[in-house]
Structure 1
Amino acid sequence: MSQALRERAIEAYKVRLQAEPAASAFAPGRVNLMGEHTDYNGGCVLPVTLDLGIGIALGPAGRPGVVRLVSDGFAGEEVRCVGEGASGSRSDYAFGALLSVAETAIKEDGLCVAVTSDLPSGAGLSSSAAIEVAAIRAAGAFHGEDPDPVATAIIARSVENDFVGMPCGVMDQFAVSVGHPGSALFLDTATLAHEAVSLLADHSFMVVHSGVSHKLTDDGYALRVQECSQACAALGVDALGELGLDALESIAVLPEPLARRARHVVTENARVASAVTSMREGDAETLGSLMLASHKSQRDDYDVSVSEVDAVVESVMALGAKGARLTGGGFGGSIVALVRSSRVDDLVDQLARNLPKARLLAMIDGG
């Protein structure tokens, strides 16, 4: 899949920019199995990469100070210039990433960029992080370099925070840059310590779009970050990820909605650790229960789910999934469900009949 998207990007570059690209790269999307809204709180997460992703091809533009961007996500061409800030366009992610690592090259000769994707935006699968990481990788290849995966993740996050203006944590960029197909990635976002976790044998994770897209810069994501900061100040800690379940009594006396926001982060962080243990022990039943508890916490304590997402979770559970939860920032997007591999086809067929707007985006098999 990665090679196919790179070839698509190369072909798009040739057709739409009428030149041969000098470099190309791919970066995958990710689905988060457990640990939602814990990363910007210094907690732990458990994402896994997808076969879906972003392909980028680039080369010199012959126009100093200019980046020309084409994409299969929009018609025409966008032209961005050194010195510009974010415009609210989808091109912000690639442009900001390229500025962060190739500003000198842009100033000297400009860049042409073609972006291709089979990763839907607004699905909660880190399309923005994949664009950022793919752009950094392509710029590295253009200069004959192989960027360090951890350093790439840190740069990509700074692009999202400082250029795009999204106060996200490091999970998306880290998963996209450091993760590998076939295993989940356990990450402590406070220390960046990480390790691979094997997926469950005889089980699969279904990624299903609810039919409602999101754009986190337009919804309550930044407000949740602010509320968590306020809860930290009230509790006398630097990050909610520092707290364990023994802090729930102190959290309960906070004013609302701070008490619910902090309770979600602390309990979700504990669920990540339990999920890792369950996967290592091959305990699908416990993992499924943890996923469902995570969704309820996102819905009731963090207030980031919507009725359409809840309906998909309820439907897949009624059809025999062992667990399901909202994945991504929320306010729409996708769910991830744990199902026995032998039940996948039947469940997908029934879900399509019950919820026509929902659609299967990806399958992750544990073997």
Structure 2
Amino acid sequence: MRRGRPAGRGPVTAVAFGPGRVNLVGEHTDYNDGLCLPFAIELGVTVRARPSLDGLMRMHAVDIGSHDVFPAVAPPRVEGWRSFARGVVALLTEAGYSIRPARLTITGTLPRGAGLSSSAALEVALALALLAHSGHGEPDRRQLAGLLSRVENEWVGARTGLLDQTASLFGRPGHALCLDVRALGAIPAPGQAPGGVPAPGPLPAPPASAARASGADGGRATPGAEPAATGIEPVRLDLGRWRLVTVDSGVRHAIAASGYNTRRAECARACELLGIGSLRDADQDAPGRLPEPLGRRVRHVLAENERVRLAVAALRAGDLPELGRVLDASHASLRDLYEVSVPEVEATAARLRALGAAGARMVGGGFGGSVLALFPPGRRLPAEAMRVAPGGPGRLLPR
């Protein structure tokens, strides 16, 4: 790869942060028009933009010692982390936004492939930095989430849904976000079909509630539980002396190369056989009308949507032992019905329960990554555990 000149020269024009996310419950439901309960975390990716005077995009991923150089218009396709960066530039340009050539320096605090959505954090930080660098205002964040999910689908080859980008763009300190993915995709941009990207031109300012939720008022999230946008309901995550932690199983996963796309294809096939548009429309008897493993996949999705409702009710009631039971049930379903676990993940979850966790489950797309565990007061955390708590949204930082 041509290294080119270092990315870190010249005055900084924009600095943006994209947070990772933890999904409490609601796994593999987003691309099935279902319910999810994620929250943004305080770890993430930071992108610093400077002018590029030669018309080229120059990127330096500091943590992995990697560079990329490509044209700002019609960048060629590549693999690896470069596909995320090029995809963001290409799709913003395709949507009609003038993106100025930039030198971008990328740093992060998220482990890659650990199920904490380092990819969405990178996309969000890149998009916000590039838009600000290019003179655009605050974006419509729901539309931006849809555009960034297309980066995963069309440039990376991972058929993910809207969960990760939405959590990163709408994070709220002290809150999880109950996402109704069907509602998120229901209202198109002006002149676009559902799921379309923003119309060309200056990006519109979001509604007041969305701006407050996104930290547009100086980074302070507004208290309360008013919707941040259609399909997004903040839910107070008050743990008291309880603690949520993640523990890395040691198995890295790349969604595009795992069985993730196979699971999505199985869900699409189940919909074809049932004659419905998405598994959100499946009835409780639907699994029995399908061959295996499709029946198992549908049983997981139906039950996982209900577990999101149970988790929200538990949080509102302050019933944290019940939340732990929901985590355990979600893990069992992902292992037995959706079949996305691996031995190392199972060993990690079992060890956390043996240490006193009230509940533990794999997070992310599966096939490796991290395990989320809920520990009651008085239980000692394993040394490698990383405490996680709801943080703010992707945002611009002072230069």
Within the alignment, does 1:56 sit opposite 2:47 as a pair?
yes
Q: CA deviation at 1:16?
A: 5.0
More strand as a share of residues: 1
Which of 385, 390, 393 is equivalent to 1:360?
Answer: 385
Distance of aligned partners of 1:341 and 1:15 in 2 relative to their CA distance in 1, 3 Å threshold: farther
Corresponding residue number in structure 2 for 1:231: 270
- More contact order relative to length (CA 8 Å, sep ≥ 6): 2
Which of 382, 391, 394 is equivalent to 1:348?
Answer: 382
Q: CA deviation at 1:34?
A: 0.2
CA contact (8 A) 2:325 2:358 kept: yes
* Whole-angstrom distance in 2 between the partners of 1:263 and 1:236: 17
Corresponding residue number in structure 1 for 2:234: 196
Corresponding residue number in structure 1 for 2:295: 259
Relative to structure 2, which stretch is displaced further, 311-320 or 91-100?
91-100
* Whole-angstrom distance in 1 between the partners of 2:279 and 2:136: 41
Residue identity in the other structure for 1:72? V
Which of 19, 36, 40 is equivalent to 2:27?
Answer: 36
Q: CA deviation at 1:144?
A: 4.7
**Helix, strand or coil: the match of 1:338?**
strand
What is the aligned-residue RMSD (CA, Å)? 2.0
Percent of residue pairs identical:
41
**Helix, strand or coil: the match of 2:47?**
strand
CA contact (8 A) 1:68 1:79 kept: yes
Alignment of 1:1-367 (within 5 A): 16-64=7-55, 66-81=56-71, 82-102=73-93, 105=98, 110-142=101-133, 143-192=135-184, 193-199=231-237, 200-243=239-282, 247-343=283-379, 346-349=380-383, 359-364=384-389
CA contact (8 A) 1:235 1:251 kept: no
* Whole-angstrom distance in 2 between the partners of 1:101 and 1:365: 28
* Whole-angstrom distance in 1 between the partners of 2:43 and 2:387: 8
Distance of aligned partners of 1:362 and 1:93 in 2 relative to their CA distance in 1, 3 Å threshold: farther
CA contact (8 A) 1:22 1:59 kept: yes
Relative to structure 2, which stretch is displaced further, 96-105 or 196-205?
96-105
Deviation string 1:155-187 (CA, Å, 9 cap, x unpaired) is 211222222222111000000001212210000
CA contact (8 A) 2:177 2:235 kept: yes
Q: CA deviation at 1:73?
A: 3.1
Distance of aligned partners of 1:21 and 1:202 in 2 relative to their CA distance in 1, 3 Å threshold: same
Residue identity in the other structure for 1:112? R
Q: Structure 1: 5+ residue runs without aligned partners?
A: 1-13, 350-358
Distance of aligned partners of 1:144 and 1:237 in 2 relative to their CA distance in 1, 3 Å threshold: closer
* Whole-angstrom distance in 1 between the partners of 2:355 and 2:110: 26
**Helix, strand or coil: the match of 1:26?**
strand
Deviation string 1:106-135 (CA, Å, 9 cap, x unpaired) is 5xx622111100011101111111111111
Corresponding residue number in structure 2 for 1:10: none
Corresponding residue number in structure 2 for 1:7: none
After the TM superposition, which segments of 4 or more aligned residues of structure 1 sit over 4 Å from their partners?
102-106
* Whole-angstrom distance in 2 between the partners of 1:255 and 1:161: 27
* Whole-angstrom distance in 2 between the partners of 1:60 and 1:259: 53
Q: CA deviation at 1:250?
A: 3.0
TM-score by length of 2: 0.80
**Helix, strand or coil: the match of 1:212?**
coil
**Helix, strand or coil: the match of 2:284?**
helix
CA contact (8 A) 2:34 2:182 kept: yes
* Whole-angstrom distance in 2 between the partners of 1:268 and 1:185: 16
**Helix, strand or coil: the match of 1:191?**
helix
CA contact (8 A) 2:75 2:90 kept: no
Q: CA deviation at 1:148?
A: 2.5
Residue identity in the other structure for 2:254? K
Query: Paired residues, what number?
Result: 336
Relative to structure 2, which stretch is displaced further, 75-84 or 154-163?
75-84
CA contact (8 A) 2:52 2:101 kept: yes
TM-score by length of 1: 0.87
CA contact (8 A) 2:7 2:104 kept: no
More helix as a share of residues: 1
